[in-house]
Structure formats: structure tokens, C-alpha cells
Amino acid sequence: MRQYAFIGLGQLAMSMLERISQVTDEIIVVDKDVVLIDRVKELVKTAFVADVTDEEALQKILPEEMDVAVVDLSSDVEATLLVTHRLKKMGAHEIIVKAESDEVSEILKVVGATRIINADREAAARIVPLVLSSTLYNFIPIGGDLVMAEVIVPELFAGKTLVEADLRQKFGVNVIAIRSENSTTYRNFDRDYRLASNDLLLVAGNEADVFAFSGIPLKPTNRQKTSSLSSLFKNPLRSGKAGGQ
């Protein structure tokens, strides 16, 4: 059975701990705050009040080759780096660390972090698209440019089947499932089902395609801007040349 260690009980760690403890109690928690340890001790197998920067104490508390270690020491960058490095030396298989900046993230990668979480950035990545589009109900970055999203069926496709709508060809998005706006349950669809204007589509695709499908206007790239400016200057010359002939 996989073992989990939480080094520091910041907000991210607490949220993860609450969820993981619903599945397993194979959890070790270490923090110097007695109040926080008391709050979670009933959820875990073992909980220790200790200075996490004390290497000897950490080696006594944690087994070698820990399956998953979560490091959340708030804004204490030095302690975060030290603990991450020591976990790497101890053979932890997966080291998840909360970071506050890109600079710290880069250093954490060097010292051994396998996954770095910037809670504010990840929250923004999910929330901003919902603010930009009134047709998006949910938005989940998967990795790289790949995202999943819940999108209200555009009026243009209401009354059409998915075959007729041909969303993969026209927008580059793949429909995974459908649910009505007042339902929380997704259902499979058949070729004859006709989309309703209040249906929600669970779609997957790259971010730009999902944005376009949900009506979020994208700013032109620098290359597109340059191309547009070139056309603007070239066209009058061509027109003038044509007129002279």
C-alpha cells in the first residue's frame, strides 16, 4: 500500500490531506505547529511535532523510499529547498512541492521536486476562462496545451446531431459526453440525438481550439500582427501600381 508524507501543513497540504485520508490512513504528518497536528492526527496513521529542517529528525520519522511526499512550508523558501533535497536523498519516489514563484520552481526542479504546484497560478488557469466566456461552465487544464471543458451548446448547433455539427473538423474539439443544464449526470449520446441549446458538452482539445469553440476571442500573435501590418502597407502600393497601369 502506498505511503504518503506531508511535510508542513499549509493550505494546499491540508486540502490534499483531507481528500487522501478518505481513501487511506497510510499517512505521516510532520509540522512544528501543535495546533495543526492536533487538527489532523485522527485522520492519519502517525503525526509528529518536529522541526522539519532537522535532517536527523526527518530521517528518524520518515521511512526511506517514501512513495509520495508533499512539501508545503508556506513562504519559507529555504526550508522548502532543504526538505526537498533531503527527501530526494532519502529516495522518495514522488515529491510534490508548493512554490510561490517561477524562480523558486526552477531551483526546486534542480534539487529534486517531481511536481511543483503554484496554487495561485493553477487557480487562475481554471478561473480566467470562465470569466472570459459566458458559455464555459468548467475548465480543466490537463497538461501542455490539452484541456477539458464544459461548454454550452452554441445556438448555431442547436437542433443538429453531433455528426451534422462536425465539431472535430470545424473546431478541433472532441465531444466526450453530454448533460442537460439542470442535470449533474452525463449520458452517452447516439448518432440520432439532436443537441438542445441548454445542453452542456464535455469537450477535450487544445486550449486555443476550446477557447474558439466557446467564443473567447484570441489576441493575434506577433507573427499575425506583423503579417497584418505587411498587408496594410503592401496593398496600397499594389493598388497604386494597378491604377497607374
End of a domain among 62, 96, 118? 118
- The range of the structural domain enclosing residue 97 comes to 4-118
Q: Is position 229 within any domain?
A: no
Q: Is position 38 within any domain?
A: yes
Read off the CATH number of the domain in which 181 is found.
Answer: 3.30.70.1450
Q: What is the mean pLDDT of each run of 10 residues along the chain (245 residues)?
A: 92 89 91 95 94 92 91 90 95 92 91 88 78 84 89 91 91 91 77 88 93 76 47 47 44
| Number of domains the chain contains | 2
Pairing of strands 199-206, 174-180: antiparallel
How do residues 226-235 score in pLDDT, each as one tens digit? 554 455 445 5
How do residues 173-205 score in pLDDT, each as one tens digit? 999 999 887 787 887 767 788 998 889 999 999
* Same domain for 114 and 130: no
List the grid coordinates of 145. 496545451
* Same domain for 108 and 132: no
Cα distances (angstroms) measured from residue 137 to each of 141, 148, 149, 154, 162: 14, 11, 7, 13, 20
User: What are phi and psi for residue 99, nearest 5 degrees?
Assistant: -125, 155
Q: Is the pTM of this model over 0.95?
A: no
DSSP code at position 93: S
* Same domain for 11 and 114: yes
* Same domain for 130 and 40: no
